Structure formats: structure tokens, C-alpha cells
Structure 1
């Protein structure tokens, strides 16, 4: 005669299998939730699988420097294309001033979210001053503190263009060789990502 199994014995035999399945599901859920965070942390700390390419064209300045650190006192609440020069505004400076204005116009419907400005340590020539008054009526002009500027510009004497965010933080820096299309693409990308200004 065969052994008779009671319903009680059958349920005891299935219980460990259900418990093991529950543990496996819990482990899988934890892996799905914590796995990407652990992988991202390891990638950051160990610097592996980090892409070498970048999507911007200027020099990134993400170290918390502000427009005031650059030697410019201003209270602009919009994105700003700021041209700076420690000497007189020569041809490279004038080209950047023209480019900054064209970039602002090129923003189209977002043009009101940005402004253009010029910061110089020396007085502008009378001819160029008159031209700015006539052709660039919205150009903001600031004096440049050379002692602060020398440190931020790393001793460069050439004119530079800076993208400044609405909080006054320096975001990107360009020299006079920048292409207008690259600069416009960078600023459009920043405006698209930003919910300020």
C-alpha cells in the first residue's frame, strides 16, 4: 500500500519554493532600482565609459565664477553675451561686439531672454563710441576692473566673449576666432535647457 500524503504535507512542500521566488523577485527589483545608480557612481569615480565628445564649442567655466569675479559690476537678469577687453576695443573686440548683437537677433523669439554688453578697461575712441550709440542702442557698457580681470582671463590680452547666466555666473568663454553658428547653437542649447531668464 502506498503512503498517503495529507494536504498539510503538500502545502509545506510548496512553501520554500514560494519563499525563494519572493526573495528572487526582491533581489531583481533592488538590482533594477540600485543597479544604475551604482553603475553611474562607479563610472564617475573610476572614470570609465565617460564620453570624450562634447556638445559645446567654447571653454566651459563651471567652477562658480561670476561676472563680479571677472571685474564687471552689472545687475542683468537675462542671459548675457558679454564682450571684454583689457585694452582699447580693436578690430577683434569690435568683431565680437558685432557677433554678440547678431547672435541675440538670431535667437528669434528668444531674443528677449538675452542681452549683449561690452566691458572695457580703457575709454572707447570717439568714432567707435558714436558708432555704438548709433548702431547698437541696446548694447550695455560697463567699466572693467583690470585687477580682477587679469586673474580670470589667465593673462590673455585679447578680446573675449563670455556667456553669463541670469544669476551672473560665467558659463562659457570664447575668443575672437569663434564661429557665429557655433556660438548661436551653444546659446540656443543653454536657453532650451534653462528655466531661468
Structure 2
């Protein structure tokens, strides 16, 4: 016994299949959002997002931060105790970036130790209320604080965040170093 479908029936089946092809993904996406099924819950950043902090230019520093390039990300950290070890830690992180290292500038606030290669020294005019001793901030090229890290945060986590941000924000092709 064979099932015979008329020409009009075949056309209706094709139309239903075409409608299903376009509506099916919408239904699946809606159900994923509605019931939170299949949506990753893991965090991307290891630091805390800090959109409320002022831009780097507005920080109460004794002098403006010099030598920050147009396309440079800034790793700023406060250092009061054992500055040489802290500066060395962030210098090693900077070197671990490899070919992306020129896109990062390190700025150290406080401490009496000399600057390491690629580091800019600055001092607080007055310590702001939002700054804690040994804090670390990751600042985008426009001077906005992107991430803040607790004191003594793992360098591997900061490196992971920094690599991700540099990958997601490629340097413009015609950008030149100053």
C-alpha cells in the first residue's frame, strides 16, 4: 500500500518545512532565555567591573601620568609595602604578554623603589576613598577603569583578563607608536 500525496499537499509540506526552518530557532532561543537552559553562567572577568570610578585623568595625582600612548591599556597599581616585589610581579606579567606587551603601560603609585623597565611612577596627592593599599586597576585606552582587583590578586587571573581584553580590542591597523 503506497501513500500518495497530491501536488498541493507536497507544496503545503514544503511551506511548513520552510516556516519551521525560520521559526524553530526563534522558539529554541526563546525557551533557552526563558528557562535559562544551555546558557553559560561562568564569569569571564576575574576582576570586578568598576564603571563608577573616575577616569585616569581625574585621579588625584601629584602630576599627570606621562608617556601613556594613544592605544595603550594601563595597569595601575598602588604600592606601599614591599614595592620592589610588587613591581617585579607586575613587570613579569607585562613580559608574559609577549608581542602584545607594547600595548600595556604600567603605572605605579607610591613606593620608594626605582621604576622598572616600561613602568611609570606617580604619587597620590591625596589617597582617594575608593583606593585601598595594594589595589590594582586595569584601565582602557580612553582612561576608563575597566576592572579592579583586590590586593594580592593572582597574577595569572589578571593576565587572563588582560589577554582577553587585548584580543577583543585589537589595535587599529594603522596605529603607530609615538
| Preserved CA contact (<8 Å) 1:93 1:176 | no
**Pair 1:54 & 2:60 matched:** no
Partner of 2:175: none
Q: How many residues align?
A: 162
Residue 147 of structure 2 corresponds to 172
- Give distance in 2, aligned partners of 1:98 and 1:54: 28
Distance (Å, rounded) in 1 between the aligned partners of 2:82 and 2:152: 9
Higher helix share: 1
Q: Residue 143 of structure 1: CA displacement?
A: 4.8
Whether the 8 Å contact between 1:164 and 1:172 is mirrored in structure 2 is yes
Q: Does 1:38 align with 2:30?
A: yes
In the TM superposition, what is the alpha-carbon distance from 1:104 to its structure 2 partner?
A: 0.8
2: CA distance, partners of 1:21 / 1:15: 10
How far apart, in 2, do the equivalents of 1:174 and 1:67 lie? 16
Unpaired segments ≥5 residues, structure 2: 173-178
Aligned counterpart in structure 2 of residue 139 of structure 1, from 116, 119, 128: 119
C-alpha distance in 1, partners of 2:24/2:82?
54
TM-score, length of structure 2 as denominator length: 0.69
Q: Distance in 2 between matches of 1:169 and 1:96?
A: 23
Could you list the per-position Cα deviations for residues 160-181 of structure 1 after superposition, in whole angstroms to 9, with x for gaps in the alignment?
1111122222222112221222
1:101-140 superposed matches below 5 A: 101-119=91-109, 128=112, 131-133=113-115, 136-140=116-120
Match of 1:184 in 2: 159
SS of structure 2 residue aligned to 1:112: helix
Q: How far apart in 1 are the matches of 2:151 and 2:85?
A: 7
Change (3 A) 1:139 1:67: same
The alignment partner of 2:6 has SS state of: helix
The DSSP-based 3-state class of the residue aligned with 2:114 is helix
How far residue 103 of structure 1 moved from its aligned partner, in angstroms, is 1.1
Deviations 1:143-197 (A, max 9, x none): 54658x42xx2xx532211111222222221122212222222212222222137
Residues of 2 paired with 1:37 and 1:64: CA distance?
Answer: 36
2-side partners of 1:191 and 1:161: how far apart? Answer: 17
Q: Are the equivalent residues in 1 in contact too, given 2:73–2:138 (CA < 8 A)?
A: yes
For the aligned residue pairs, the C-alpha RMSD in angstroms reads 3.3
